[in-house]
Amino acid sequence: MNKKKAQSEETKARIIEAANNVFSQRGYHAASIEDIANATGVSKANIYYHFKSKEGLFLTLLDQYEAEWKALWAEQLKRYASTTELLNGMIDVGLKRGFHHPLTRAAREFLEEAWGKSVEGCRQIAIKINENRAFYQSLIQQGIDSGEFKSVNTSDLGRILEAMFRGLGESSRDLSLEEAIRLYRVALDALLYGIVARD
């Protein structure tokens, strides 16, 4: 890597670090490119050169968060003996990490704004939702292949799991971590075992 490219990458990394701090402290709406420029010590033009927009910069942070989550989850996978255990583990690990992650509030603000106002934001979020559906679909298929789950339409179940977890994220905002974990577990148990009384 030549010196100019190395400096450019270093500047980009500094911007990302500063943006992470600014968005975490102020939220998505209150944070400005000027705040990030001041925190980084670079010009606003330099930030726009690297990220094109405030939204583009925040999407980079979300991508970084997702990459960290995938790396963490790859380490966790070997701890679980069944798909049911794995899904419950996802609730524990995911909620504990998300509840305390400094970007959570800013991410919620961003997602609400992106759905309603930004074509690119909607496109990126739709991509992430489809990736999540595919991930859940693969987990259901894993359970079927192992004999743990009966044969079902994995595409439907992937969509249901993604929607359920996303909806629970919305409806558990006012709950404590312990209450949210309990709610997610109740929902997962209802999906896996049903609520119809058995003879």
For 10-46, what is each residue's pLDDT tens digit?
A: 888 889 998 889 998 888 888 889 999 999 888 898 8
**Domain-located, residue 198:** no
Provide the domain limits for residue 149: 55-193
Same domain (yes/no): 105, 174:
yes
Q: What is the pTM of this model?
A: 0.78
- Residue type at position 70: K
Q: Is residue 82 part of a domain?
A: yes
55 and 121 in contact (C-beta within 8 Å)? yes
Say yes or no: 90 and 170 in one domain: yes
**Comparing C-alpha atoms, which of 15, 41, 20, 42 is closest to residue 31?**
20
> Which CATH number characterizes residue 12's domain?
1.10.10.60
Q: How many domains does the chain have?
A: 2
Is residue 113 located within the same domain as residue 154? yes
Is there a single domain that holds both residue 173 and residue 75? yes
Q: Is the Cα dihedral 168, 170, 173, 174 positive or negative?
A: negative
Are 89 and 142 within one domain?
yes
Angle formed by the axes of helices 54-76 and 44-51, to 10°?
60
Residues 158, 116: one domain?
yes
- pLDDT at position 6 over 80: no
Based on the fold, state whether residues 47 and 22 are members of the same structural domain: yes
Is 64 found in the same domain as 3?
Answer: no
Is 199 within a domain? no
Q: How far apart are the first and last CA of the chain?
A: 69
Q: Mean pLDDT lowest for which of 22-31, 59-68, 94-103, 158-167?
A: 94-103
Q: Are residues 79 and 170 located together in one domain of the fold?
A: yes
pLDDT at residue number 139 = 92
